[in-house]
Structure formats: C-alpha cells, structure tokens
Structure 1
Amino acid sequence: MTARIPTLDITRYDTDRDAFVAELGAAYRQWGFAGISNHGISQELIDNAYAAFRKFYALPEETKKKYHLAGQGGARGYTPFGIETAKDSKHFDLKEFFHIGREIADDSKYRDVMPPNVWPEEVPEFKQYGLALYNALDALGARVLAALALHIGLPEDFFVDKVDVGNSILRPIHYPPITTEDIPNVRAGAHGDINFITLLVGASTAGLEVRSHDGEWVPFTSQGDTIVVNIGDMLQRLTNHVYPSTIHRVVNPAGDAARQPRYSVPFFLHPNPDFLIKTLPGCISAENPDRYPQAITAHGFLEERLREIKLK
C-alpha cells in the first residue's frame, strides 16, 4: 500500500479517541480517502459474500437479466455490462453490478423512492450474505461518521438520525476479463462518489487509483483486513469541501492480469432521502465562504447524479 494514504486502526476510536479523530480528520482533509483496519467484520462473512456474488456473475446472461429492473435507474437488482458511464466520460465502464438496498417496510414513507430488493433465486445464499455484509458495513460507516463529526466540532451522534433510514447501497461489482487490446474504456472511469461515504471491501486487487491535490494518480491497494473508506459528494457539499470528495478510478491491468476478472464490493452510505443537504455553519468562514447557498434534498441530489452517469 502506498505510504501516503494512511490506514488507521478504528479500535483507537474507543481507546485513543482524540488522537484517532485528529489523524482520521487530517487524512480525509488531505486525501478524501483512508484505510480502516481492525473493523471487526469477519473474514468469513466477507469470503462467503464474495463467493455468492461470484456464483451469481457466473450465471448465463439471460438468467442475470431477469434481475434487471427497467426504469429504476439501477436502484435495485442487476445492471448489465456497458451501461454505467462516469460523469463527463465518453465511454462506458467495463463492469456489471448488482444493487442491494435497505430492507424497509412497505408502509415506510420512503417506499416510493426506496424500492424492494430483488434476490437471485439461483443463488439462495446471495440474500443471506448480501444483507449481513450490508448491515455490517452500515454499522462501520456510522462509526466513521461519528469520528468525522467530532473532527469538525459536531456532536458524536450528529449523523445518527440522518442516516438511520438512508438509501444506502451495497454494490457487488464484476469487472470481466479484458480480451480486446487498445480499447478507450477503463474498468471504472475517473469519478467522485455521490453519497456521504463509501466503504470498499476487496480493494486488495490492484487497479484503484486516487487523484492527489497535485493531479497525480496514486495507487491504493489495501492489505490485510483493511477496508478503504472515502468521502462522497454529498458530504463534500454538506461540509463545504472541508472533507473533499476525491476523484478516483479503476484502471485496466497490463498483460496477463487483464485476462483475469476483478471483483469488488463498495457500500455507498447515503443519508435519508428527505435529508436536506445544507452547508454546515461551522464549515463556513471568510476563507471558505459558502459554495452551496441553495440546499437540496439527498434524493434530489441522487436523481440529478444518476442522470449524469446514464443510469437514468
């Protein structure tokens, strides 16, 4: 792993809180990215989830397409290869993916914007391990947000009631083997994430690159049990760029490595759909005036961005 993007042990949040919060906040202010180790999510759960996801992607195309829900913008279920396109990119990403959302009651006030999940009947364990990993990452994300809140002078529990019914997404991704030379497409074009924070399980295969303030692309390949966590555009907007949403990409490997598939599972932690993204007063100053005088709901922001990346 590059030495320049820090990895921090999250157990220090309980044993060495002030120093941990200071170091984590500094990492995000500089990079918008950090590694989180000793997170407590079992390797057995991660391995079982990955096995279920791989099993799904090995199904025939026509079988997978049964779980593609037309008109939903990829909100739930399967999105086939060749659709998602990074904002401002001319070429689609070299990936297919599946979206698992929060399980909510049908009478929830958010049901109209948070549709039910669909589950592949051909892989019965997909639901069990997909939901378990979803819930584990949701809980870990809440701990990271608590530390970020403290770093900018907010109460530790500031985000709790803003993300408790968040429209968060677990996205198992399959990047198929690349068999064509000299294509303009990459596995994931340069982009910023839409949400509050993203937690990436399985960045252990090379390919993820983060763009530094100087415009240099810095590889970030995790080691051991590290989960990569980065800031998304909604949190950047809420904090008036105190926490930057850093552009990143997944590049195509060279040589024989390109002929191998790549799998990764990001968890996009979103606020509740009706949360109003309005610049935090504590993040406004003479040196950093309010960049976003117009507030927008989380759902309104999400819809805007889904159109930009061609999912809607």
Structure 2
Amino acid sequence: MQVQVVDYRAPGAPEQFARSLHETGFGVLVNHPIPQALVEKIYADWLAFFVDGAEKQGYAFSPETQDGWFSTAISETAKGHTQKDLKEYFHIYPWGRIPPSLKADAMAYYEQANALAGELLSWVERHTPPDISRHYSEPLSRMIEDSRLTLLRVLRYPPLTGTEPPGSLRAAAHGDINLLTILPAANEPGLQVQAKDGAWLDVPSDFGMLIVNIGDMLEEASRGYYPSTQHRVVNPTGEGATKSRISLPLFLHPRPDVVLSERYTAHEYLMERLRELGVKT
C-alpha cells in the first residue's frame, strides 16, 4: 500500500490523485494553492485560543447546530471504541459562531480550501470508471452545490499528562463521515492509515503537504470503489508528548437531500453517524 504524493501542478495530477484515492483512500498533494503562511497563522492563533481557555467557554457547542467549541469532556468516541478521543475542537460554518478576532483568517481558509476541495472532487468524478459513476444520483461536483454543511474543524490534541485512560488515543481508528476531507499537514506528526493487511502506516505529512482522504459518504456513493480507509492519530512519546498538536481538516459535505445510494440520503447517513459518535441523541 502506497499513499501517492502528487504534484498538484503536474499534467497527470488528476489521474494520479484519483488512482491513489482508489487504491488507498488517501492522496497527498504538494505545490497546492493554499498559502502555507495562512495555515501557520491559523495554527498559532487557535492554539492560543484553546490554551488561554477564557474565551472558548462562551462558545460551548450547540447540540442543535453542531457549531462552536467541543471540550475534551464531550469529545467524540470513535465508532467501535469506548474511550473518548484525547482532543478538543471548534466547528466552523460560515453561518455559525466564530470568535471575531479569528473570523477573517478562518473564513479566508474556508473559502480557499472549499474551492480546492470542489476541484479535487471533480478530479475524482472525472476518473471514476463509467460502471461506477452511473450509480451516482448526480455528478459529485453538483452534490456540494449550495451545501451549508461543509465543516471546518480546528482541532487541538493537548499535551499528554500520563493520566490518560488506558488504551485512549488522540484520535482512535475511524473513517470520516463526509465525501472528501482535506487536511494541511499538522504542526506535529502522528497521522496513520491502515493498510489492507491491518498494518498501520505513517501518512506522508511534511509541513506544507495537503492530505486528502475519502469519507464514508463517497464510499457509499461509489459502492466501495473509493474506500473510506481507517485512520488514526497516535499518542506521541518523548518530547512530542509535551506539545499540543493542531490540525485543520475541512470535511466536504453534500446537501442533505442528496441520494447517496438505495440505502441513504446524505441527511440520513449524517444523523446515524452523529448518534454513533455520541454527539447527537
């Protein structure tokens, strides 16, 4: 299993990228258009927001809208696991609550990343075999038009204290819910993907790379042609255990009415998974 590192500007990039997603569920882009300086500033500013702690208390998450700050106490429990992930995070939607001092950069990144994600989804669509694409209820690129559900999540994995529950991880093995996730390489390592033989492999994640993976909704819509591969964030050791890890995934979601398959609409699938994660009743 080899996650491909693809030059976004290369002539063969769309085909290479789609092939990597088909074979591994993951692809990594270099020379992509998202400014690294913007990513680094967001990392630094949001780390201060999380660590300071005073302001975030006023943005406690809303069970109805799923926006705002999710503390470590209410963090997700990955499907099939019993321990909560060792993380806190903030959900950003254009229509949702965002701290005023952090809004401009967050929305600039959201717009740029969303545009790029839409382009990458069109690459996937273009290189889907006809016998698979004929099952799409509509073109993949159209599924996200006018969607209010594409989510930017700012994650902080706190330093480890040595008192963590046995077996708990920064992010236990899971698949993403959505169509496609794009993720700038974090400020600290730890992301791993599970190979078909069950082995865990480090995902190439040099600072400046953009990591992209298939979500469960696209696996459902493509009848498994694009696999939503299990991935996790492992706990660091040594000096790394004393540092926070900041991550900035954008989860590309379709409109709620989009038909993914004979079994699910996008809304039905999302509600089922949120209940499994324990963040919605």
TM-score by length of 1: 0.82
The alignment covers a number of residue pairs equal to: 271
Question: How far apart are the structure 2 equivalents of 1:45 and 1:53?
Answer: 12
Deviation per residue, 1:264-303 (Å, 9 max, x gap) = 111101111211112xxxxxxxxxxxxxxx3322121111
Question: How far apart are the structure 2 equivalents of 1:160 and 1:206?
Answer: 31
Larger radius of gyration: 1
One of 212, 215, 219 as aligned partner of 1:236? 219
2:6 is matched by which residue type in structure 1? L
Question: How far apart are the structure 2 equivalents of 1:218 and 1:309?
Answer: 25
Judge conservation of contact 1:207–1:221 (CA < 8 Å) in 2: no
Identity %: 35
Superposed counterparts of 1:61-100, under 5 Å: 63-72=55-64, 75-83=66-74, 84-100=76-92
SS of structure 2 residue aligned to 1:45: helix
* Alignment partner, residue 43 of structure 1: 36
1:26 is matched by which residue type in structure 2? R
* Alignment partner, residue 110 of structure 1: none
* Alignment partner, residue 99 of structure 2: 120
Judge conservation of contact 1:200–1:266 (CA < 8 Å) in 2: yes
1:204 Cα shift?
5.1
Gaps of 5+ in 2: none
One of 189, 194, 209 as aligned partner of 1:226? 209
1:165 and 2:142 are equivalent in the alignment: no
One of 108, 118, 135 as aligned partner of 1:142? 118
1:256 Cα shift?
2.5
RMSD of the TM alignment (CA)? 1.9
SS of structure 1 residue aligned to 2:52: coil
1:52 Cα shift?
2.2
Question: How far apart are the structure 2 equivalents of 1:224 and 1:66?
Answer: 32
Deviation per residue, 1:68-89 (Å, 9 max, x gap) = 134237x211101132111110
* Alignment partner, residue 276 of structure 2: 308
SS of structure 2 residue aligned to 1:147: helix
* Alignment partner, residue 216 of structure 1: 199
1:24 and 2:17 are equivalent in the alignment: yes
* Alignment partner, residue 106 of structure 1: none
1:202 Cα shift?
2.7
1:36 Cα shift?
1.1
Judge conservation of contact 2:156–2:247 (CA < 8 Å) in 1: yes
